[in-house]
Amino acid sequence: MKTVPRRCLCTRRVLVYFLIINVTCLGLVLLVLYDRVSNNQNHVHRAEFERWKRIRDDFDKYQKNEANKADTMKKTLRGRQMDAVLSFDEIGKTNITQENENVKKRIAAEQLRMDEAVKSADLPLDHIPPVPEFSDIDIVPYLSEDLISPYLVLPKHGNHVLYNQSIVILTPICDVEHLLEQFMNAIKNLTYPHTHISVYLGEDSSSDLTLNRAKLLAKDLVLNHGFRDAGAFHFNYTGGIHGDWTRIHSKENQLERRAHMAHARNDLLSLGMRKGHFDQVLWIDSDVKYLPSDLIQQLLFARADVVVTSCLYKEGRFKKLYDRNSWRETPTSIENQKTLPVDILLVEGYSHSSRIFLPDLKAEGRIVPLDGVGGCVLMVKAECHRKGLNFPEKIYKHHIETEGLAKMATNMGFSVRGLPWLEVFHNF
Ligand SMILES: Nc1nc2c(ncn2[C@@H]2O[C@H](COP(=O)(O)OP(=O)(O)OP(=O)(O)O)[C@@H](O)[C@H]2O)c(=O)[nH]1
Ligand SMILES: *[C@@H]1O[C@H](CO)[C@@H](O)[C@H](O)[C@H]1NC(C)=O
Ligand SMILES: *[C@@H]1O[C@H](CO)[C@@H](O)[C@H](O)[C@H]1NC(C)=O
Ligand SMILES: *[C@@H]1O[C@H](CO)[C@@H](O)[C@H](O)[C@H]1NC(C)=O
Ligand SMILES: *[C@@H]1O[C@H](CO)[C@@H](O)[C@H](O)[C@H]1NC(C)=O
Ligand SMILES: [Mg+2]
Protein backbone atom coordinates (compact mmCIF):
# COMPACT_ATOMS: atom_id res chain seq x y z
CA MET A 1 0.00 0.00 0.00
CA LYS A 2 2.82 2.35 0.84
CA THR A 3 4.58 1.88 -2.47
CA VAL A 4 1.73 3.10 -4.63
CA PRO A 5 2.05 6.80 -3.89
CA ARG A 6 5.86 6.48 -4.15
CA ARG A 7 5.55 4.95 -7.59
CA CYS A 8 3.12 7.62 -8.44
CA LEU A 9 5.55 10.31 -7.22
CA CYS A 10 8.33 8.71 -9.27
CA THR A 11 6.24 8.80 -12.47
CA ARG A 12 5.35 12.45 -11.83
CA ARG A 13 9.03 13.37 -11.36
CA VAL A 14 9.93 11.54 -14.57
CA LEU A 15 7.15 13.44 -16.31
CA VAL A 16 8.44 16.78 -14.97
CA TYR A 17 12.02 15.99 -16.08
CA PHE A 18 10.71 14.93 -19.42
CA LEU A 19 8.81 18.20 -19.73
CA ILE A 20 11.87 20.26 -18.78
CA ILE A 21 14.03 18.46 -21.35
CA ASN A 22 11.35 18.96 -24.01
CA VAL A 23 11.00 22.69 -23.29
CA THR A 24 14.79 23.10 -23.35
CA CYS A 25 15.08 21.31 -26.68
CA LEU A 26 12.25 23.39 -28.15
CA GLY A 27 13.96 26.52 -26.84
CA LEU A 28 17.23 25.47 -28.49
CA VAL A 29 15.52 24.76 -31.80
CA LEU A 30 13.74 28.15 -31.67
CA LEU A 31 17.03 29.86 -30.80
CA VAL A 32 18.80 28.28 -33.77
CA LEU A 33 15.90 29.20 -36.08
CA TYR A 34 15.80 32.78 -34.78
CA ASP A 35 19.54 33.10 -35.22
CA ARG A 36 19.35 31.97 -38.83
CA VAL A 37 16.52 34.37 -39.67
CA SER A 38 18.09 37.34 -37.91
CA ASN A 39 21.46 36.49 -39.45
CA ASN A 40 19.81 36.77 -42.83
CA GLN A 41 18.35 40.13 -41.88
CA ASN A 42 21.70 41.27 -40.56
CA HIS A 43 23.08 40.49 -43.97
CA VAL A 44 20.56 42.77 -45.62
CA HIS A 45 21.08 45.50 -43.03
CA ARG A 46 24.82 45.16 -43.42
CA ALA A 47 24.64 45.61 -47.22
CA GLU A 48 22.35 48.58 -46.64
CA PHE A 49 24.76 50.08 -44.17
CA GLU A 50 27.71 49.56 -46.53
CA ARG A 51 25.84 51.43 -49.22
CA TRP A 52 25.15 54.34 -46.89
CA LYS A 53 28.76 54.30 -45.77
CA ARG A 54 30.03 54.53 -49.35
CA ILE A 55 27.80 57.52 -49.96
CA ARG A 56 28.81 59.13 -46.69
CA ASP A 57 32.50 58.61 -47.46
CA ASP A 58 31.89 60.18 -50.83
CA PHE A 59 30.49 63.26 -49.09
CA ASP A 60 33.42 63.37 -46.72
CA LYS A 61 35.85 63.27 -49.64
CA TYR A 62 34.17 66.29 -51.19
CA GLN A 63 34.26 68.13 -47.92
CA LYS A 64 37.94 67.45 -47.52
CA ASN A 65 38.62 68.61 -51.08
CA GLU A 66 36.73 71.75 -50.35
CA ALA A 67 38.49 72.39 -47.08
CA ASN A 68 41.79 72.11 -48.94
CA LYS A 69 40.75 74.83 -51.30
CA ALA A 70 40.51 77.24 -48.36
CA ASP A 71 41.99 80.11 -50.37
CA THR A 72 39.18 80.08 -52.92
CA MET A 73 36.44 78.73 -50.73
CA LYS A 74 34.83 81.52 -48.76
CA LYS A 75 33.68 80.79 -45.23
CA THR A 76 30.08 81.48 -46.17
CA LEU A 77 30.12 78.68 -48.72
CA ARG A 78 29.32 75.59 -46.78
CA GLY A 79 27.87 72.50 -48.30
CA ARG A 80 28.42 69.14 -49.80
CA GLN A 81 27.67 67.99 -53.28
CA MET A 82 26.46 64.88 -54.97
CA ASP A 83 24.89 63.77 -58.22
CA ALA A 84 21.18 63.67 -58.54
CA VAL A 85 21.83 60.11 -59.54
CA LEU A 86 19.92 56.94 -59.99
CA SER A 87 22.45 54.89 -58.07
CA PHE A 88 21.41 56.88 -55.06
CA ASP A 89 17.97 55.32 -55.14
CA GLU A 90 19.56 52.02 -54.19
CA ILE A 91 19.18 53.28 -50.64
CA GLY A 92 16.27 51.58 -48.99
CA LYS A 93 15.97 48.92 -51.66
CA THR A 94 16.44 45.38 -50.34
CA ASN A 95 15.15 43.38 -53.29
CA ILE A 96 18.29 43.19 -55.42
CA THR A 97 16.66 40.76 -57.90
CA GLN A 98 13.90 43.28 -58.58
CA GLU A 99 16.50 46.05 -58.81
CA ASN A 100 18.55 44.14 -61.41
CA GLU A 101 15.45 43.52 -63.47
CA ASN A 102 14.57 47.21 -63.39
CA VAL A 103 18.06 48.13 -64.48
CA LYS A 104 17.91 45.63 -67.35
CA LYS A 105 14.54 47.00 -68.45
CA ARG A 106 15.84 50.53 -68.24
CA ILE A 107 18.92 49.77 -70.33
CA ALA A 108 16.80 48.06 -73.00
CA ALA A 109 14.42 51.04 -73.21
CA GLU A 110 17.38 53.42 -73.33
CA GLN A 111 18.90 51.48 -76.23
CA LEU A 112 15.64 51.72 -78.20
CA ARG A 113 15.42 55.47 -77.66
CA MET A 114 19.06 55.87 -78.65
CA ASP A 115 18.60 53.91 -81.92
CA GLU A 116 15.54 55.95 -82.80
CA ALA A 117 17.28 59.25 -82.02
CA VAL A 118 20.31 58.34 -84.13
CA LYS A 119 18.13 57.30 -87.09
CA SER A 120 16.18 60.56 -86.87
CA ALA A 121 19.22 62.47 -88.17
CA ASP A 122 18.54 60.88 -91.57
CA LEU A 123 14.78 60.62 -91.37
CA PRO A 124 12.97 62.85 -88.85
CA LEU A 125 10.52 60.92 -86.69
CA ASP A 126 6.84 60.98 -87.67
CA HIS A 127 5.71 60.51 -84.07
CA ILE A 128 6.33 62.27 -80.79
CA PRO A 129 8.47 60.05 -78.54
CA PRO A 130 6.64 59.19 -75.30
CA VAL A 131 7.95 60.77 -72.11
CA PRO A 132 10.59 58.40 -70.69
CA GLU A 133 10.68 57.29 -67.05
CA PHE A 134 14.10 58.99 -66.74
CA SER A 135 16.11 61.07 -69.20
CA ASP A 136 19.02 58.90 -70.15
CA ILE A 137 20.12 59.81 -73.66
CA ASP A 138 21.72 63.06 -74.78
CA ILE A 139 20.67 62.99 -78.42
CA VAL A 140 17.45 64.92 -79.01
CA PRO A 141 15.64 63.33 -81.96
CA TYR A 142 14.66 65.36 -85.03
CA LEU A 143 10.91 65.41 -85.63
CA SER A 144 9.09 66.08 -88.89
CA GLU A 145 8.06 69.69 -89.60
CA ASP A 146 4.38 68.70 -89.66
CA LEU A 147 4.69 67.52 -86.09
CA ILE A 148 6.58 70.56 -84.84
CA SER A 149 4.69 73.46 -86.38
CA PRO A 150 1.43 73.16 -84.37
CA TYR A 151 3.49 73.55 -81.20
CA LEU A 152 5.08 76.79 -82.35
CA VAL A 153 2.22 78.68 -84.03
CA LEU A 154 1.43 82.09 -82.59
CA PRO A 155 -1.80 84.09 -82.88
CA LYS A 156 -1.78 85.80 -86.32
CA HIS A 157 -2.74 89.28 -85.22
CA GLY A 158 -0.30 90.18 -82.49
CA ASN A 159 -2.22 89.83 -79.27
CA HIS A 160 -2.27 93.44 -78.05
CA VAL A 161 -1.85 92.72 -74.36
CA LEU A 162 0.68 89.97 -74.91
CA TYR A 163 3.06 91.89 -77.16
CA ASN A 164 2.84 95.19 -75.36
CA GLN A 165 4.95 94.20 -72.39
CA SER A 166 8.22 95.83 -71.51
CA ILE A 167 11.15 93.46 -71.36
CA VAL A 168 14.54 93.78 -69.72
CA ILE A 169 17.18 91.39 -70.97
CA LEU A 170 19.80 90.68 -68.30
CA THR A 171 23.04 88.88 -69.12
CA PRO A 172 25.90 88.16 -66.73
CA ILE A 173 29.22 88.17 -68.60
CA CYS A 174 32.81 87.20 -67.87
CA ASP A 175 35.69 86.68 -70.31
CA VAL A 176 33.42 86.58 -73.34
CA GLU A 177 34.97 89.32 -75.49
CA HIS A 178 35.10 86.85 -78.40
CA LEU A 179 31.42 85.85 -78.02
CA LEU A 180 29.73 89.20 -77.62
CA GLU A 181 29.27 89.98 -81.31
CA GLN A 182 27.48 86.68 -81.95
CA PHE A 183 25.36 87.28 -78.83
CA MET A 184 24.37 90.80 -79.88
CA ASN A 185 23.48 89.55 -83.38
CA ALA A 186 21.07 87.04 -81.86
CA ILE A 187 19.53 89.84 -79.74
CA LYS A 188 19.21 92.20 -82.75
CA ASN A 189 17.52 89.36 -84.62
CA LEU A 190 14.59 89.29 -82.18
CA THR A 191 11.38 90.45 -83.88
CA TYR A 192 9.67 91.65 -80.69
CA PRO A 193 9.40 95.50 -80.88
CA HIS A 194 12.87 96.73 -79.90
CA THR A 195 11.32 99.86 -78.41
CA HIS A 196 9.98 97.59 -75.65
CA ILE A 197 13.35 96.00 -74.87
CA SER A 198 16.20 97.18 -72.61
CA VAL A 199 19.44 95.18 -72.39
CA TYR A 200 21.87 95.24 -69.43
CA LEU A 201 25.02 93.21 -69.10
CA GLY A 202 26.74 92.70 -65.75
CA GLU A 203 30.45 91.95 -65.80
CA ASP A 204 32.90 90.89 -63.10
CA SER A 205 36.14 88.92 -62.78
CA SER A 206 37.10 89.25 -66.47
CA SER A 207 40.72 89.21 -67.56
CA ASP A 208 39.99 90.31 -71.13
CA LEU A 209 38.30 93.36 -72.69
CA THR A 210 34.76 92.03 -72.19
CA LEU A 211 33.55 95.19 -70.47
CA ASN A 212 34.78 97.64 -73.10
CA ARG A 213 33.46 95.56 -75.96
CA ALA A 214 30.09 95.10 -74.21
CA LYS A 215 29.79 98.87 -73.69
CA LEU A 216 30.41 99.57 -77.38
CA LEU A 217 27.97 96.92 -78.56
CA ALA A 218 25.31 98.08 -76.08
CA LYS A 219 25.55 101.61 -77.51
CA ASP A 220 25.09 100.13 -80.99
CA LEU A 221 21.85 98.43 -79.87
CA VAL A 222 20.30 101.77 -78.93
CA LEU A 223 21.77 103.98 -81.69
CA ASN A 224 21.36 101.63 -84.66
CA HIS A 225 18.79 99.01 -83.70
CA GLY A 226 16.06 100.88 -81.89
CA PHE A 227 16.38 99.28 -78.44
CA ARG A 228 14.89 101.33 -75.62
CA ASP A 229 18.06 101.28 -73.53
CA ALA A 230 21.22 99.21 -73.15
CA GLY A 231 24.41 99.22 -71.12
CA ALA A 232 27.23 97.17 -69.67
CA PHE A 233 28.22 97.47 -66.02
CA HIS A 234 31.21 96.31 -64.02
CA PHE A 235 30.81 94.82 -60.56
CA ASN A 236 33.88 95.36 -58.49
CA TYR A 237 34.54 91.87 -57.16
CA THR A 238 36.06 88.65 -58.35
CA GLY A 239 35.23 85.05 -57.68
CA GLY A 240 33.59 82.05 -59.20
CA ILE A 241 35.25 79.40 -61.30
CA HIS A 242 36.93 80.29 -64.56
CA GLY A 243 39.46 78.79 -66.92
CA ASP A 244 39.24 75.66 -69.01
CA TRP A 245 36.14 73.59 -69.49
CA THR A 246 37.27 70.77 -67.16
CA ARG A 247 37.84 73.19 -64.31
CA ILE A 248 34.53 74.96 -64.83
CA HIS A 249 32.65 71.68 -64.97
CA SER A 250 34.46 69.55 -62.39
CA LYS A 251 31.92 68.40 -59.85
CA GLU A 252 33.69 69.67 -56.76
CA ASN A 253 33.70 73.21 -58.18
CA GLN A 254 29.97 73.44 -58.75
CA LEU A 255 28.94 74.84 -55.38
CA GLU A 256 31.42 77.69 -55.60
CA ARG A 257 30.76 78.33 -59.28
CA ARG A 258 26.97 78.36 -58.99
CA ALA A 259 27.03 80.41 -55.77
CA HIS A 260 29.07 83.09 -57.51
CA MET A 261 26.77 82.98 -60.56
CA ALA A 262 23.77 83.44 -58.27
CA HIS A 263 25.45 86.44 -56.67
CA ALA A 264 26.30 87.94 -60.08
CA ARG A 265 22.72 87.43 -61.28
CA ASN A 266 21.22 88.96 -58.14
CA ASP A 267 23.42 92.06 -58.40
CA LEU A 268 22.50 92.47 -62.05
CA LEU A 269 18.85 91.97 -61.14
CA SER A 270 18.96 94.81 -58.57
CA LEU A 271 20.61 97.05 -61.16
CA GLY A 272 18.03 96.14 -63.82
CA MET A 273 15.09 96.73 -61.49
CA ARG A 274 16.42 100.21 -60.70
CA LYS A 275 16.58 101.06 -64.42
CA GLY A 276 12.83 101.00 -65.02
CA HIS A 277 9.50 99.36 -64.27
CA PHE A 278 9.56 96.27 -66.47
CA ASP A 279 6.94 93.55 -67.01
CA GLN A 280 9.35 90.71 -67.72
CA VAL A 281 12.96 89.91 -66.93
CA LEU A 282 14.58 87.82 -69.65
CA TRP A 283 17.82 86.07 -68.74
CA ILE A 284 19.94 85.08 -71.74
CA ASP A 285 23.45 83.65 -71.38
CA SER A 286 26.10 85.24 -73.57
CA ASP A 287 27.22 81.90 -74.99
CA VAL A 288 24.02 81.20 -76.93
CA LYS A 289 24.62 80.74 -80.63
CA TYR A 290 21.10 80.78 -82.03
CA LEU A 291 17.82 82.20 -80.78
CA PRO A 292 14.54 81.81 -82.68
CA SER A 293 13.59 85.32 -83.83
CA ASP A 294 10.13 85.10 -82.22
CA LEU A 295 11.66 84.00 -78.90
CA ILE A 296 10.02 86.69 -76.75
CA GLN A 297 6.56 86.23 -78.30
CA GLN A 298 6.86 82.48 -77.68
CA LEU A 299 7.87 82.98 -74.05
CA LEU A 300 5.04 85.47 -73.46
CA PHE A 301 2.58 83.04 -75.04
CA ALA A 302 3.26 80.65 -72.14
CA ARG A 303 1.77 83.22 -69.71
CA ALA A 304 3.83 81.69 -66.92
CA ASP A 305 5.59 83.32 -63.97
CA VAL A 306 8.82 81.50 -64.79
CA VAL A 307 9.44 79.94 -68.20
CA VAL A 308 12.41 78.38 -70.03
CA THR A 309 13.16 77.04 -73.50
CA SER A 310 14.99 73.84 -74.40
CA CYS A 311 18.71 74.60 -74.60
CA LEU A 312 20.61 72.32 -76.97
CA TYR A 313 23.85 72.22 -78.95
CA LYS A 314 24.82 70.74 -82.27
CA GLU A 315 27.46 68.05 -82.48
CA GLY A 316 28.02 66.69 -85.95
CA ARG A 317 24.64 65.68 -87.35
CA PHE A 318 23.04 65.50 -83.93
CA LYS A 319 21.12 67.83 -81.67
CA LYS A 320 22.11 67.22 -78.08
CA LEU A 321 20.96 68.32 -74.66
CA TYR A 322 23.05 71.20 -73.27
CA ASP A 323 21.21 72.65 -70.32
CA ARG A 324 20.69 70.00 -67.66
CA ASN A 325 19.14 72.40 -65.19
CA SER A 326 15.66 72.40 -66.72
CA TRP A 327 13.99 69.28 -65.40
CA ARG A 328 10.96 67.62 -63.89
CA GLU A 329 11.26 65.67 -60.67
CA THR A 330 10.17 62.02 -60.71
CA PRO A 331 8.85 59.89 -57.82
CA THR A 332 12.37 58.41 -57.61
CA SER A 333 14.18 61.75 -57.48
CA ILE A 334 11.73 63.02 -54.86
CA GLU A 335 12.19 59.86 -52.79
CA ASN A 336 15.99 60.26 -53.00
CA GLN A 337 15.82 63.78 -51.63
CA LYS A 338 13.72 62.80 -48.62
CA THR A 339 16.70 61.08 -47.01
CA LEU A 340 19.29 63.74 -47.92
CA PRO A 341 20.92 65.88 -45.22
CA VAL A 342 19.87 69.52 -45.80
CA ASP A 343 23.34 70.76 -46.71
CA ILE A 344 23.69 68.53 -49.76
CA LEU A 345 23.72 70.24 -53.15
CA LEU A 346 22.39 68.08 -55.97
CA VAL A 347 24.11 68.56 -59.32
CA GLU A 348 22.97 67.13 -62.65
CA GLY A 349 25.21 66.02 -65.46
CA TYR A 350 27.76 63.87 -63.64
CA SER A 351 26.00 60.53 -63.85
CA HIS A 352 22.66 59.03 -64.86
CA SER A 353 19.77 61.23 -63.93
CA SER A 354 16.66 60.23 -62.05
CA ARG A 355 14.82 63.20 -63.57
CA ILE A 356 13.26 64.10 -66.91
CA PHE A 357 14.93 66.90 -68.87
CA LEU A 358 12.78 69.44 -70.72
CA PRO A 359 13.32 68.21 -74.33
CA ASP A 360 11.97 64.80 -73.30
CA LEU A 361 8.61 66.27 -72.25
CA LYS A 362 7.35 67.05 -75.78
CA ALA A 363 4.62 64.40 -75.61
CA GLU A 364 2.97 66.41 -72.81
CA GLY A 365 2.33 69.40 -75.05
CA ARG A 366 3.51 72.94 -75.71
CA ILE A 367 3.78 74.27 -72.16
CA VAL A 368 4.78 71.84 -69.42
CA PRO A 369 5.30 72.16 -65.65
CA LEU A 370 8.92 71.99 -64.44
CA ASP A 371 10.69 71.76 -61.07
CA GLY A 372 14.16 73.04 -62.06
CA VAL A 373 15.20 75.68 -64.61
CA GLY A 374 18.46 76.71 -66.26
CA GLY A 375 19.61 80.20 -67.19
CA CYS A 376 20.37 79.73 -70.87
CA VAL A 377 17.06 81.45 -71.77
CA LEU A 378 14.83 82.10 -68.78
CA MET A 379 11.94 84.57 -68.48
CA VAL A 380 10.65 85.63 -65.08
CA LYS A 381 7.72 87.98 -64.46
CA ALA A 382 9.28 91.10 -62.97
CA GLU A 383 6.50 91.10 -60.38
CA CYS A 384 7.83 87.79 -58.98
CA HIS A 385 11.29 89.32 -58.56
CA ARG A 386 9.72 92.36 -56.92
CA LYS A 387 7.94 90.03 -54.49
CA GLY A 388 11.32 88.61 -53.45
CA LEU A 389 12.06 85.81 -55.90
CA ASN A 390 15.80 85.66 -56.63
CA PHE A 391 18.67 83.26 -57.26
CA PRO A 392 19.56 81.42 -54.02
CA GLU A 393 23.26 81.97 -53.28
CA LYS A 394 23.24 79.21 -50.72
CA ILE A 395 21.77 75.74 -50.91
CA TYR A 396 17.98 76.03 -51.00
CA LYS A 397 16.10 72.71 -50.94
CA HIS A 398 19.24 70.97 -52.28
CA HIS A 399 19.66 73.44 -55.14
CA ILE A 400 21.24 76.78 -55.92
CA GLU A 401 21.14 79.59 -58.51
CA THR A 402 18.64 78.97 -61.36
CA GLU A 403 17.50 75.57 -60.09
CA GLY A 404 17.19 77.11 -56.65
CA LEU A 405 15.08 79.90 -58.17
CA ALA A 406 12.68 77.31 -59.60
CA LYS A 407 12.34 75.63 -56.19
CA MET A 408 11.81 79.01 -54.55
CA ALA A 409 9.25 80.09 -57.18
CA THR A 410 7.24 76.91 -56.65
CA ASN A 411 7.41 77.44 -52.91
CA MET A 412 6.09 81.00 -53.35
CA GLY A 413 3.16 79.70 -55.41
CA PHE A 414 4.43 80.90 -58.82
CA SER A 415 4.07 78.81 -61.97
CA VAL A 416 7.27 77.29 -63.38
CA ARG A 417 6.97 76.14 -67.00
CA GLY A 418 9.07 74.89 -69.87
CA LEU A 419 8.62 75.03 -73.64
CA PRO A 420 10.05 71.69 -74.82
CA TRP A 421 9.38 72.48 -78.50
CA LEU A 422 11.14 75.84 -78.51
CA GLU A 423 14.85 75.29 -79.02
CA VAL A 424 17.77 77.66 -78.54
CA PHE A 425 21.32 76.58 -79.30
CA HIS A 426 24.30 76.99 -77.04
CA ASN A 427 27.93 77.18 -78.18
CA PHE A 428 30.00 74.12 -77.74
N1 LIG B 1 29.20 88.34 -64.16
C2 LIG B 1 29.66 87.10 -64.33
N3 LIG B 1 29.21 86.37 -65.34
C4 LIG B 1 29.68 85.12 -65.50
C5 LIG B 1 30.64 84.56 -64.64
N6 LIG B 1 30.92 83.31 -65.08
C7 LIG B 1 30.15 83.11 -66.16
N8 LIG B 1 29.41 84.20 -66.44
C9 LIG B 1 28.41 84.40 -67.49
O10 LIG B 1 27.22 83.79 -67.05
C11 LIG B 1 26.56 83.15 -68.12
C12 LIG B 1 26.44 81.67 -67.81
O13 LIG B 1 27.73 81.14 -67.55
P14 LIG B 1 28.24 79.82 -68.26
O15 LIG B 1 29.67 79.65 -67.90
O16 LIG B 1 27.88 79.85 -69.68
O17 LIG B 1 27.37 78.74 -67.52
P18 LIG B 1 26.82 77.39 -68.13
O19 LIG B 1 26.10 77.64 -69.41
O20 LIG B 1 26.10 76.73 -67.02
O21 LIG B 1 28.13 76.56 -68.39
P22 LIG B 1 29.00 76.46 -69.72
O23 LIG B 1 28.94 75.01 -70.03
O24 LIG B 1 30.37 76.89 -69.29
O25 LIG B 1 28.43 77.30 -70.76
C26 LIG B 1 27.35 83.47 -69.36
O27 LIG B 1 26.77 84.60 -69.97
C28 LIG B 1 28.74 83.78 -68.82
O29 LIG B 1 29.45 84.69 -69.62
C30 LIG B 1 31.12 85.36 -63.57
O31 LIG B 1 31.95 84.95 -62.78
N32 LIG B 1 30.60 86.61 -63.46
C1 LIG C 1 11.98 40.24 -55.40
O2 LIG C 1 11.63 40.47 -56.73
C3 LIG C 1 11.42 39.29 -57.49
C4 LIG C 1 11.20 39.69 -58.94
O5 LIG C 1 10.17 40.63 -59.09
C6 LIG C 1 10.22 38.54 -56.90
O7 LIG C 1 10.00 37.34 -57.64
C8 LIG C 1 10.52 38.21 -55.45
O9 LIG C 1 9.40 37.59 -54.87
C10 LIG C 1 10.89 39.48 -54.67
N11 LIG C 1 11.34 39.12 -53.34
C12 LIG C 1 10.93 39.75 -52.25
C13 LIG C 1 11.53 39.28 -50.97
O14 LIG C 1 10.12 40.67 -52.28
C1 LIG D 1 0.78 99.42 -74.36
O2 LIG D 1 -0.15 99.94 -75.26
C3 LIG D 1 -0.79 101.14 -74.84
C4 LIG D 1 -1.77 101.54 -75.92
O5 LIG D 1 -2.68 100.53 -76.17
C6 LIG D 1 0.21 102.23 -74.58
O7 LIG D 1 -0.44 103.36 -74.08
C8 LIG D 1 1.24 101.75 -73.57
O9 LIG D 1 2.26 102.71 -73.41
C10 LIG D 1 1.85 100.44 -74.05
N11 LIG D 1 2.74 99.92 -73.00
C12 LIG D 1 3.99 99.67 -73.23
C13 LIG D 1 4.76 99.11 -72.09
O14 LIG D 1 4.56 99.87 -74.27
C1 LIG E 1 37.20 97.81 -55.89
O2 LIG E 1 37.19 97.20 -54.63
C3 LIG E 1 38.43 97.28 -53.96
C4 LIG E 1 38.37 96.45 -52.68
O5 LIG E 1 37.06 96.10 -52.34
C6 LIG E 1 38.77 98.75 -53.69
O7 LIG E 1 40.01 98.85 -53.04
C8 LIG E 1 38.80 99.51 -55.01
O9 LIG E 1 38.99 100.88 -54.79
C10 LIG E 1 37.51 99.29 -55.79
N11 LIG E 1 37.61 99.88 -57.12
C12 LIG E 1 36.70 100.68 -57.63
C13 LIG E 1 36.97 101.19 -59.00
O14 LIG E 1 35.71 101.01 -57.04
C1 LIG F 1 18.20 85.21 -87.04
O2 LIG F 1 16.88 84.80 -87.44
C3 LIG F 1 16.81 83.99 -88.59
C4 LIG F 1 15.37 83.75 -88.92
O5 LIG F 1 14.72 83.13 -87.83
C6 LIG F 1 17.60 82.71 -88.36
O7 LIG F 1 17.62 81.93 -89.52
C8 LIG F 1 19.02 83.06 -87.95
O9 LIG F 1 19.76 81.90 -87.67
C10 LIG F 1 19.01 83.95 -86.74
N11 LIG F 1 20.36 84.33 -86.34
C12 LIG F 1 20.77 84.25 -85.09
C13 LIG F 1 22.17 84.66 -84.82
O14 LIG F 1 20.08 83.87 -84.18
MG1 LIG G 1 26.78 78.59 -70.95
Residue 98 Cα to ligand 6 midpoint, Å, equals 40
Residue 44 Cα to ligand 3 midpoint, Å, equals 68
Q: Which segment of 240-244, 302-306, 388-392 scores lowest on mean pLDDT?
A: 240-244
Mean pLDDT of 26-46: 73
Specify the ligand 5 atom closest to the Cα of 189. 1
**What does the pLDDT read at residue 34?**
74
Q: How far apart are CA 241 and CA 264, in angstroms?
A: 12
Write phi, then psi, for 299 (nearest 5 degrees).
-65, -40
**What does the pLDDT read at residue 60?**
63
Q: How far apart are CA 309 and CA 422, in angstroms?
A: 6
As a whole-number percent, the residues of the chain with pLDDT over 90 amount to 65
Taking the CA of 95 as reference, the closest ligand is: 2
Taking the CA of 277 as reference, the closest ligand is: 3
**What does the pLDDT read at residue 88?**
44
pLDDT at 3 over 60: no
Buried b (16+ CB within 10 A) or exposed e, 375-400: bbbbbbbbebbeeebbbbbebbbbbb
**What does the pLDDT read at residue 72?**
47
Residue 379 Cα to ligand 3 midpoint, Å, equals 20
- Specify the residue with its C-alpha closest to ligand 3, atom 2: 164
pLDDT at 77 over 60: no
Name the residue of 173, 187, 271, 347 to mutate for ligand 1: max ligand atoms within 8 A of Cβ.
173
- Specify the residue with its C-alpha closest to ligand 2, atom 11: 95
Q: Where residue 23 falls among pLDDT bands split at 50, 70, 90?
A: confident
**What does the pLDDT read at residue 161?**
57
Specify the ligand 3 atom closest to the Cα of 165. 13
Average pLDDT, the chain: 87
Give residues (CB < 6 A) around ligand 3: 164, 166, 196
Q: Which segment of 1-15, 76-90, 141-155, 358-372 scores lowest on mean pLDDT?
A: 76-90
Buried b (16+ CB within 10 A) or exposed e, 148-170: eeebeeeeeeeeeeebeebbbbb
Mean pLDDT of 27-45: 73
- Specify the residue with its C-alpha closest to ligand 3, atom 11: 164
Name the residue of 159, 160, 161, 164 to mutate for ligand 3: max ligand atoms within 8 A of Cβ.
164
Q: Where residue 71 falls among pLDDT bands split at 50, 70, 90?
A: very low
Residue 20, SS3? Answer: helix
Q: Where residue 343 falls among pLDDT bands split at 50, 70, 90?
A: confident
**Residue 239 or residue 336, greater confidence:** 239
CB of residue 173 inside a 6 A radius of ligand 1 = yes
Mean pLDDT of 372-381: 98
**What does the pLDDT read at residue 206?**
96
Write phi, then psi, for 388 (nearest 5 degrees).
115, -5
Q: Where residue 420 falls among pLDDT bands split at 50, 70, 90?
A: very high
- Specify the residue with its C-alpha closest to ligand 1, atom 30: 174
pLDDT at 2 over 50: no
What does the pLDDT look like over 247-296, one tens digit per residue? 898 888 899 999 999 999 999 999 999 999 999 999 999 999 999 999 99
Residue type at 238 in one-letter notation: T
**What does the pLDDT read at residue 386?**
98
**What does the pLDDT read at residue 59?**
63
Q: Which segment of 62-76, 145-159, 180-194, 218-232 scores lowest on mean pLDDT?
A: 62-76
- Specify the residue with its C-alpha closest to ligand 3, atom 6: 164
**Residue 158 or residue 340, greater confidence:** 340
**What does the pLDDT read at residue 80?**
63
**What does the pLDDT read at residue 372?**
98
- β-strand pairing of 229-234 with 197-203: parallel
Task: Note the maximum CA span of the chain.
Answer: 134
Q: How far apart are CA 197 and CA 187, in angstroms?
A: 10
Q: How far apart are CA 216 and CA 209, in angstroms?
A: 11
What does the pLDDT look like over 113-168, one tens digit per residue? 999 999 999 999 999 999 999 998 999 999 999 999 999 999 876 666 578 899 99
Name the residue of 179, 181, 182, 189 to mutate for ligand 5: max ligand atoms within 8 A of Cβ.
189
As a whole-number percent, the residues of the chain with pLDDT over 70 amount to 82
pLDDT at 92 over 50: no
**What does the pLDDT read at residue 159?**
62
**What does the pLDDT read at residue 121?**
96
